[in-house]
Amino acid sequence: MSVQQVTLEPVARSRAMPAARRPVAGPSAVRGLRGFVLGKPLGAFGAVLILLFLVLAAGAQWLAPYPYDIGTAADRLQWPSLAHPFGTDANGRDLLSRVIWGARVSVTIGFGAVLISTVIACVVGIGSGYFGGWIDLLVQRVVDVWISFPALVLLVSLVAIVGPGLWSTTLVLGILLAPGTARVVRSAVLGMRHQPYVESARCVGAGHWRIVRRYVLPNVSAAILVLATTQLGAAILAESTLSFLGYGVPPPFPTWGAMLSGTGRAYMLQSPWLSIWPGLAISAAVFGFNMLGDALRDVLDPRLRGR
């Protein structure tokens, strides 16, 4: 299980750099995209994978050939065939359809959790770094506690409290992923607090809110975007681990992690494909986000490389 706690050096003063290395004709967006694909083939591959999962998640009700929760006893544990390309499970449910519906759970929780975590991290990180002083000291001690908890332990306890479900899992994961990003945002903001452009903004009478919105946020946005992309992979991994342990979205809704969990294990001995497809789906999704995150980091924030 890996909710990664990323601790990074202060960065984020860098500006977005164009990806295109050689001049290509066309509008700048197309040129940028083409430069990205040529310069970062793995990143582009990751993006394609993510796009695929997004389409599957959004269109599950049209793309899945069978319903995810209804099976026929006659079809129990079928080998992969033309009718059921991924085979069927112990309840005769089509595995391909369940993997497709599982994408919806993973993508929803992944994006939701990262959104929550990014918002919390920005509020905490910018507040702590911008105001500094005793606020910073106090907030950082809270972040210390937050970071010191073993992730999975906290997840299991929190989900048990809130009760398992799509939104509670999302919320809990979001809270859990936040401190790592908050640290990065804080150190970036701390570094730019006394930069001339912030001071001059203050001199002309800009309020805190305006300074944060116009001068601080744009300068940390690249780092935040890169971290968020990598965290999406971590969130999906954590969600599937949680489901695997039985603390995720409850059945009959299909999640990739739960498909691999204990109850299915007995049947996996007779029908190994039960253990293959959901795992492949998790790995492919996490792989996609990691690759895209790496490529984005190289393009947007080269100083984070190797971290």
Partner 1 sequence: MSRYLIRRLVLLVPTLLGVSIVVFVLVRLLPGDAVSLQLQDAKATAADEAALRAQLGLDRPVVLQYFDWLGNLLRGDLGHSFRSHQPITTELANRIPVTAELGVLALIIAAFLATIVGIISAVRQDTWADYTGRSVAIGLLAIPGFWLGTLVVTLPSVWWHWTPPLQYARLTVDPIKNLSIVIVPAVILGLGLSGGLMRLIRTQMLEVLRQDFIRTATAKGLTENATIVRHALKNAFIPALTVLGLQVALLVSGTVVLESIFVLPGMGRYLLEAVQSRDYPAIQGLNLLFATVIVLTNLVVDLLYGWLDPRVRYT
Residues of this chain that interact with partner 1 (CB under 8 A) are 1-5, 7, 141-142, 144-145, 148-153, 156-158, 160-161, 163, 233, 237, 240-241, 244-245, 257, 260, 265, 268-269, 272, 275, 278-279, 282-284, 286-287, 290-291, 305-307
In this complex, which beta carbon is closest to partner 1, that of residue 57 or of residue 238? 238
Report which secondary-structure segment, H or E, holds 163: none
Kindly state the smallest distance separating residue 213's Cβ from partner 1, in Å: 31
In this complex, which beta carbon is closest to partner 1, that of residue 7 or of residue 81? 7
Q: Could you write out the DSSP letters of every residue in 198-239? A: HHHHHHTT--HHHHIIIIIHHHHHHHHHHHHHHHHHHHHHHH
Q: With the C-alpha atoms ordered 162, 165, 167, 169, is the resulting torsion angle positive or negative?
A: positive
Kindly state the smallest distance separating residue 127's Cβ from partner 1, in Å: 18
The alpha carbons of the chain give a radius of gyration, in whole angstroms, of 22
Kindly state the smallest distance separating residue 25's Cβ from partner 1, in Å: 30
Kindly state the smallest distance separating residue 42's Cβ from partner 1, in Å: 8
DSSP code for 68: S
DSSP code for 306: T
In this complex, which beta carbon is closest to partner 1, that of residue 61 or of residue 157? 157
Task: Give all strands (DSSP E) within the chain, no chain letters.
Answer: none
CA distances from 54 to 194, 205, 283 (A): 42, 45, 15
Kindly state the smallest distance separating residue 46's Cβ from partner 1, in Å: 10
In this complex, which beta carbon is closest to partner 1, that of residue 62 or of residue 134? 134
In this complex, which beta carbon is closest to partner 1, that of residue 111 or of residue 287? 287
